[in-house]
Amino acid sequence: MLAVAGAAAVLALAGCGSDSGGEAKVPPTATGSLESLAAEAKCKPDMQTDADTIRQAICKKGEEKYILATFATDRGQREWIEAAKDYGGFYLVGRKWVAVGEEKVLQDLRGRLGGDLEQGVDHSGMGHGGGAHDGGAHDGGAHGSGHAGHGG
Q: How many Cβ atoms are within 10 Å of 37's Cβ, its own excluded?
A: 25
- The answer on pLDDT for 86 being more than 80 is yes
Average pLDDT over residues 76-93: 95
**What pTM does this model have?**
0.68
Instruction: Report CA-CA distances (Å) from 105 to 40, 42, 64, 110, 151.
Output: 15, 13, 7, 9, 27
Q: How many Cβ atoms are within 10 Å of 112's Cβ, its own excluded?
A: 16
Q: Which of 20-24, 40-44, 65-69, 145-149 has the lowest mean pLDDT?
A: 145-149
Q: How far apart are CA 91 and CA 139, in angstroms?
A: 13
Higher pLDDT, 25 or 27: 27
What pLDDT is recorded for position 62? Answer: 79
Tell me the pLDDT tens digit for each residue of 27-83: 999 999 999 999 999 999 999 999 999 999 999 877 889 999 999 999 999 999 999
